[in-house]
Chain A
Amino acid sequence: AAGVIQSPRHLIKEKRETATLKCYPIPRHDTVYWYQQGPGQDPQFLISFYEKMQSDKGSIPDRFSAQQFSDYHSELNMSSLELGDSALYFCASSVGTGVTEAFFGQGTRLTVV
Chain B
Amino acid sequence: QKEVEQNSGPLSVPEGAIASLNCTYSDRGSQSFFWYRQYSGKSPELIMFIYSNGDKEDGRFTAQLNKASQYVSLLIRDSQPSDSATYLCADGINDYKLSFGAGTTVTVRA
Binding partners A and B? no
B-binding residues in A (CB < 8 A): none
A-binding residues in B (CB < 8 A): none
